[in-house]
Amino acid sequence: MSDLPLIQADRAVPPPAATTSTGGRRRRLRLLSRTDRVVITLKVLVPLLLVTAFVWLPALATVVLSGTDWDGIGPLNEIDFVGARNYSDVVNIYPPFVPAIQHNLLWLAVLFVVATPFGMFLAVLLDKELRGSRFYQTALYLPVVLSLALIGFVWQLLYSRDQGLINAVFGSNVDWYGDSSVNIWAVMIASSWRHVGYIMLLYLAGLKGVDPSLREAAAVDGASESRTFFRVVFPVMRPINIIVLVVTVIESLRAFDLVWVVNKGRNGLELISALVTQNVVGEASRIGFGSALATIMLVVSLVFITIYLATVMRENRE
């Protein structure tokens, strides 16, 4: 759905000109038939309306609600505005908030430093057409396909303190999910387990697309394997690298499912997204307070989005 406007982008430029009726442009407009114009207008309008209705308006509503103490009961006109109280409460008297921010950042760091490079590494290995490469590919990608229910189940079997495989095999007594200094790492391993497969597949697809003659040329020039990769293949794959980077950032910001499965994001597994859910969804209905958390999350995401866009735009200009 989203690629349609892109395809039309070059042709979609003219329509705004239709309103500014300068002579030269009007002539260009005749290149487009009536049907073309209708189609283009629709193709711009429909996604625009959808995005506005389902992304921007709700986001705006969240920001507005974050200034209220609405509990989800009663008509909208009974909502009281409380100014920035929700924000000051979040920062000052809500104990899970600071750990949540730290955990989100930790999540980003681990995915970025460990999981993503490892996934890329596996992709490079699999690209070598090893024997049984199909099997490895499937095995590594499997975690991405599995439903959350199953993933929670699998890791519960491993991590349970009293009945889990890890403690049984090693005779250890670690409370993997309950000890708040350990559980974030335990969950991080589970999360990386999924992330690695995802990155591997993305990167493998990219590697398959690299022109083999580049490698041959490098080999003829006597470049070693690793030198070929870092000096030739890696730079060529810039679009994929950026996608991988963006995927990593997005995955770490929206990390939610695993901690929710484990203990609903409490006791050492606080994440902003889990806190938002705890407060907004369900019976709790602290909608104002939860919206304040959601707004903070939005701002944090905007920081990363801005950095990303700035980088991409600067590079495009060069």
Partner 1 sequence: MSRPRSQAEYLARLVPPSVAGINRRSLLAGAAGTGALLGTGLLAGCGDDSGSGGGSSKDVSLGSNQSDPKPKDVLAKVADGFKTSSGVQVAVNTVDHNTFQENINNYLQGKPDDVFTWFAGYRMRFFAQKGLASDISDVWGKISGYSDAFKKASTGDDGKQYFVPASYYPWAVFYRKSVWQQHGYQVPTTLDQFTALGAQMKKDGLTPIAFADKDGWPAMGTFDILNLRINGYQFHVDLMAGKEAWTSDKVKKVFDTWAGLLPLHQPDSLGRTWQEAAQSLQQKKSGMYLLGLFVGQQFSNDEQSDLDFFTFPEIDPSIGAKALDAPIDGYMMARKPKNEDNARKLMEYFGGKTAADITVKSDPTTLVANTGADVSGYTALQKKAAELVGSATEIAQFLDRDTRPDFASTVMIPAIQQFIKNPKDIDGLTSSIENQKKSIFTD
Residues of this chain that interact with partner 1 (CB under 8 A) are: 54-55, 58-59, 61-62, 65, 69, 71-74, 85, 89, 92-96, 147-150, 152-153, 155-157, 159-163, 173, 175-180, 183, 254, 256-257, 260-264, 266-267, 273, 276-287, 289, 291, 294, 297-298
Q: If you search the block for the tokens 């950026």, which residue do you land on?
A: 242
Q: How far is the CB of 167 from partner 1 (least distance, A)?
A: 10
Q: How far is the CB of 245 from partner 1 (least distance, A)?
A: 21
Cβ closer to partner 1: 198 or 289?
Answer: 289
Cβ closer to partner 1: 8 or 156?
Answer: 156
On the 0-12 / 13-18 / 19+ scale of CB atoms within 10 A, 215 is middle
Cβ closer to partner 1: 70 or 203?
Answer: 70
Q: How far is the CB of 199 from partner 1 (least distance, A)?
A: 20
Cβ closer to partner 1: 36 or 69?
Answer: 69
What distance separates the 2 farthest-apart alpha carbons in the chain?
84
Tokens in use for 130? Answer: 């090893």
Q: How far is the CB of 194 from partner 1 (least distance, A)?
A: 15
Q: How far is the CB of 250 from partner 1 (least distance, A)?
A: 11
Q: How far is the CB of 95 from partner 1 (least distance, A)?
A: 6
Cβ closer to partner 1: 157 or 214?
Answer: 157
Cβ closer to partner 1: 142 or 281?
Answer: 281
